[in-house]
Amino acid sequence: MKRILLTVAYWSASVLMIALMLKSLDYCFSDALFVSMSFVPGCLVLRWLLPHVSFANMRKGILNLIAVVLAVILTDMILVIWCHVLMNGLMASYYSGFPTLLVNPAFLSLVMIVLTGGDYVLSRYLKSRFRNESHPVTFTSDYRKVTLDLSEILFVESRDTEVWVCATEGRKYRNKTGITQWENLLGEDFIRVHRSFVVRRSFISSVANDAVILTDGNEIPVSRKYREAVSSLNIC
């Protein structure tokens, strides 16, 4: 509950700061507050979409990233214009002009970077601050919804077109979510050791030359790309 309240407080403060800035564009405070709220949906969509952009194929990943950012900027422009017209009327907006700053791509990009970046930093802090709280993850496996707490997930393995979530008590779940998306979703309690494996840090008992030894005795390969990160693990 505290995490939710702090997140709501962050976005409320962000809207208030944008509203205060918009007052300099001759908006009254209530109108400025209304327009500033139109920035939030795009920022939230961007915050949700970015972790789902996979860079397994670098060229495709970059193109997808550009497409996501441009789509969100365009959506924000439309929302801002709609809010302005809704407050002033179509004809009044046409004759009185429209603040060009609000549809400036550079300005919109800056606002989104600041707000989504701040939310990312806050979420990282809240995850470490409330680490002991439950963190359920819901996904689809074989056409049914599955909900697991992060503490139940041991490692995730990619097998060509399928990804397997391996949980406690020998449970395994097949799904279509990419392993890079899983890596972003699972957070700092997990580490990518191979292009096909993301492992819970506490499930690693030791590190060999080209593999990590799990607490159940199984070995998972470590690729050259992730060897340095794996070697820096503090295994108790």
Structural domains of the chain ordered from first start? 2-129 (no CATH), 136-231 (2.40.50.1020)
- The Cα angle at residue 129 between residues 127 and 132, in degrees rounded to 5: 75
Contact 202, 192 (CB under 8 A): no
Residue 55: its pLDDT value, please?
A: 67
Instruction: Give dist(CA 3, CA 8) in Å, integer.
Output: 9
Helix axes 39-49, 58-88, angle to 10 degrees: 170
Residue 155: its pLDDT value, please?
A: 94
Up-side HSE of residue 196: CA atoms within 13 Å toward CB?
Answer: 12
State the burial class of residue 61 (Cβ atoms within 10 Å of its Cβ: 0-12, 13-18, 19+): middle
Residue 84: its pLDDT value, please?
A: 73
Residue 95: its pLDDT value, please?
A: 45
Beta-bridge mates of residue 198: 156, 192
> Which tokens go with 158?
């990619």
Residue 54: its pLDDT value, please?
A: 66
Give the C-alpha distances (Å, rounded to integers) separating 33 from 92, 123, 220. Answer: 20, 25, 53
State the burial class of residue 118 (Cβ atoms within 10 Å of its Cβ: 0-12, 13-18, 19+): middle
Contact 212, 193 (CB under 8 A): yes
Alpha helix (H) ranges present in 89-213?
A: 90-96, 105-129, 179-186
Strands 162-167 and 144-149: unpaired
Residue count of the chain = 236
Helix axes 2-22, 29-37, angle to 10 degrees: 130
> Which tokens go with 160?
């060509």
Residue 192: its pLDDT value, please?
A: 92
Instruction: Give dist(CA 127, CA 13) in Å, integer.
Output: 20
Residue 132: its pLDDT value, please?
A: 58
Q: What is the pLDDT along the chain (236 residues), one digit of tens a residue?
A: 677 788 889 999 999 998 888 888 777 888 888 888 888 888 888 887 777 676 667 788 788 888 888 888 888 888 888 877 777 665 455 445 667 777 788 888 888 888 888 988 888 787 777 665 667 888 999 989 999 988 899 999 998 889 999 999 899 999 988 888 898 888 878 999 999 999 998 899 988 878 999 988 889 999 888 888 888 776 65
